Structure 1
Amino acid sequence: MDDFDSLCLPIPPLPVDVVRLLVEVTGEIDHRSAMALALSCRRFECWVTPIIYRSVNLKTIRSVDNFLYALEHSDKDVRLMVRVLTIDTMAGAYYSRTSLATTQIISLCTNAVTIALWSLKDKESLLDLSKHKCLRRVSIHMEYFMSDKSCVLSSLPGSIPNFMFNITHLDLYEFKERVLQRAEILQYLHRLTHLFMVSASDEALTLASHFAPFLPSSTRVWIIHFRYYQVCDMKVIDDIAGGHADPRLVVSMKTTKNSPEMANAKYIIHRVLAQTAETKTIWREWGGPLLQEPDFWEEAEMIIAERKRSKKTPHEKKDEDWRELHW
């Protein structure tokens, strides 16, 4: 054994920068490994802690309580490290205590860029986003976003909340007819480029014309996603999918795998039920593909471009092809 050791080349210690790179990459790849590294020594803890708290997904009531404790008692400024905050359905506000903890967590994470809140059922809990100047994306229940005690209407029409100035992506689920009178809120989102609405049926399509006048001019893509049933009127769906209600509006449906209605459907995003078993997985996809399918936004923009192209004359199409070829 001694002879073998004598033949081995001595390995010099790695530079600190290289060690830090290895630790940070390991933490990025696997969250559990990041936690283990943080517990191993103080230096690793300093390197890995921002990675651990950069993206937080709270799935249980216990995780909500633990994370709130970390925000309030950590010696590090954890609240500023959180950039992506997701509070899942299982952590949901079935109890008033959990609702309060949820709203407290959101109000403390003022540096968040993305906030997804799936399950706040207590409408009495006021969601405070007044200090969230970095917010770019909000995913929330439509009725809560547009209720009298919401984070928006609590400040309007006096002063526009700071968080509304920079929002580019807004996801609203549980489309209800009673929120139509609150549709004017959308006009204050001056930088909104992508709007995603989810409905349990095609009811949202018949009400889409009420929202269209309030969309800001910055909006590029507007998707209404719903589950297709046999009672849905395919003629109405085809008409709206053609861009007649609003040129920015794209229809997205989830159907059975072999749906005959989709055989001749045009300008519609099609997702089978297996791909959207949990609707919340849609909103978690910021830009990545869903089960090897194109991203929702990418596919919607391709549909809008194709609709515009179909309305052009053959001469205009020829000129466009020439520009794409030479530019």
Structure 2
Amino acid sequence: MEVSTPESMKLWERGRKLGAGGYGFVCLAHPLAGHPLFLPDSSLQIVMAVKSAKYTSSSSLIRERNLFKKFKDCPHIIRYLGCDCTYEEDERFRNIFMQYAAGGSLHDRIKSAASRGTRISEIEAREVTECVLHGLRFIHSKGYVHCDIKTDNILIVKGKAKIGDLGLTIKPGKYPGKIIGTRNYMAPESFKSGDYTSKADIWGLGCCLFEMITGVKIWRHMKEDEIHKIIERSRMSDKAQLFWRKCMVEDPEQRWDAELLLQHPFIVDHPPSPLSTGKQVCKIMPTSSTTVCQYKAEEA
């Protein structure tokens, strides 16, 4: 049973819109006095992201909220902060609150570098890739496939990459034959027959890595010699190339999984970098739950 809380909007205010889609829209949200995340010192105030949808068409939001709860123990997935319902301009909305990625998306990061005539360094690309792999390993260990790994859905929080947007996350075989996701990052088996396993996410990660290092999106129609020229121009290292090719194997049975890729020399054979300092690794079988201050004005 859900408890409607039309007064809950008084505890937070909606900021500028960050994006919109079939699910609804995403805005910044600012906690107000009385909210569990409100800090008296305004200079330290927390900013959240709130994803909202009309109450009558918010089933996908409920599903995404439940997935965020399932994955809350992994520091490499955007953190869920709570949920509520509000009345705004005589319309009822369901809202879920998430950690705000002040660093934007990986897509933004690549675009920003390109505007300056540069590319993301291979060191940074490796750091991002490692974080995403930890997040994928956790999602896959829970029996799910993200289904939409792309640069827009990899978010930067305090210099660390985190997986966001669980709107298309499913269990393998949930929608046989149905094609979901973003075509340019879609694995061959998904694009051709709507087949989604954990290996589909690895293909998407490979596309992201190629884009980070080369500054070029890899298109489905590209031929091997064209790809080779792009790699040569980018000066991608041998380790990075070998890792990337393990992600892009046509046969999903032969494509490496997240566990194996985390042991690849591209990931493990490198000197410590500032980005690695104090890094967290999520445990596949956590022995204790993570304490998170949650704002929850409705019960599912």
Q: TM-score range by the shorter chain?
A: under 0.3
Structure having the higher Rg: 1
> Greater helix share, 1 or 2?
1
Indicate the structure whose relative CO is greater, using CA pairs within 8 Å and at least 6 residues apart.
Answer: 2
